[in-house]
Amino acid sequence: MQTGNAVVGQSGGPTSVINASLAGVIEGAIRSGAITGVYGMRWGIEGFMQEMLVDLKAEDPRQVALLKSTPSSALGSSRHKLQDEDFPKILAVLKKYDIRYFFMIGGNDSMDTINRVAAYCRGEGYELNGIGVPKTVDNDLFGTDHTPGYGSAARYVALSVQQGGRLARDMQKVDQYSVYQAVGRDAGWLAAAAVAAKKDEADPPHILLIPERAFDKGKFLDKVGEVQGKYGFCSISVGEGVSYADGTPISASQTADKFGNVEFGAMGGTSAAMMLHKMIAGRYESWRGEFQVVESLQMCASDRASALDVAEAYACGLRAVELAEEGRDGLMVSIVRGSDGHGHYRTELGTAELKDVAVRAKPMPDEYIDESGMWVTDKFIDYLRPLVGKLPEFADLAYKPVK
């Protein structure tokens, strides 16, 4: 067990529980017999290269404890992709502050950062234990059953679609459809989580659109008409990365720039939800509808956090320090789905090789998606429910006619 200082950073988009993992790393490192100083990177690896370090041992313990219920990324984040010229700068800072333990809390790119920094240090003969702590609302990291952050974001989506869908149901004489957009460029884990609050066939959502399946406009619009005819309204949950069979995102605008390139996003493009809204309005001209695109609110709304998600995020932070103390390197803490022997979910922690996690995105497996491509199987619902936690129960009136 080598002695030295530790540094921890946060990277990429936030989650509702990313700071719970930070609290786990801080508290575990402070208790460690091998770690002397505990430093935080301001603004991720980008700030680290500029020596923007803070002393986390100097923080009030109460404030560290409050991190468990604090949204966003307390240290500040970055999406800087490492370049070859960055590594000598990083090694110089590591040496200057005698940092021997390197922790990053993040997703695919963050795991790639740790992996490459640790590999460079090994090549230069500098002893460094690099351990990754997983996070992402997209739930698309390999090597772990699910990621800290997903359960809370899934709960946010489920509650939003449940409540927005009830509004659509009760306002169906005015608006006949509602579209909710979830984040997730390459995987549909979050958009599919909308089903968590569904109890009856008529409950929202009615249609799921996920990046794992190619979008068929005609098939989709036919389904919308079928659902509206049956229930009086149609509730749709769509992932932001849904695309046509040729790979063109449905969020692409039909407007082209002066070079003939189709415009996307803020520069003339639109959202997937908005495009679906336009398609439905084009087919069913007498209908009105709504769409919701909440973007980062799904990623950091601590008021809807899952209690299990908070506990697992904190546990992953603590476990990262333990692995580093054991002299382990090049690993990410992973969550393993366990059971208490009675069919109830139990959290277990494992490890995954950083090289197997970095950069790649994990899609939803085929066994979780039904044959229509617009719904999920019971296996996915069983996977999802313990992560989201118990959802509120609402009144369902009988609507008995007056005699």
Q: How far is CA 307 from CA 69, 106, 273, in A?
A: 10, 20, 30
Active site residue 138: yes
**Dist. CA 310–CA 315, nearest whole Å:** 9
Give me the pLDDT at residue 269, please. Answer: 53
Nearest alpha carbon to residue 334 among 307, 311, 354, 316: 316
Nearest alpha carbon to residue 269 among 29, 278, 176: 278
pTM of the model: 0.92
Q: Is 347 helix (H, G, I), strand (E, B) or coil?
A: strand
What are the structural domains, with CATH classification, of the chain?
Answer: 4-149+304-357 (3.40.50.450), 151-302+364-387 (3.40.50.460)
**Dist. CA 114–CA 396, nearest whole Å:** 51
Give me the pLDDT at residue 368, please. Answer: 98
Give me the pLDDT at residue 32, please. Answer: 95
Give residue 89's Cα distance to chain centre: 30
Give me the pLDDT at residue 254, please. Answer: 53
Q: Give the dihedral of Cα atoms 213, 384, 193, 19; nearest 10 deg.
A: -120
Give me the pLDDT at residue 196, please. Answer: 96
Give me the pLDDT at residue 257, please. Answer: 42
Q: Is 207 helix (H, G, I), strand (E, B) or coil?
A: strand
What is the block-wise mean pLDDT of the chain (403 residues), using blocks of 10 residues? 93 93 98 96 96 98 96 92 95 98 93 93 96 95 95 96 91 93 92 95 96 96 97 95 93 53 47 94 94 85 92 98 94 92 89 86 95 96 95 91 95
Nearest alpha carbon to residue 187 among 159, 216, 166, 210: 210
Give me the pLDDT at residue 250, please. Answer: 92
Give me the pLDDT at residue 267, please. Answer: 42
Give me the pLDDT at residue 20, please. Answer: 97
Among residues 112, 138, 203, 309, the one annotated as catalytic is 138
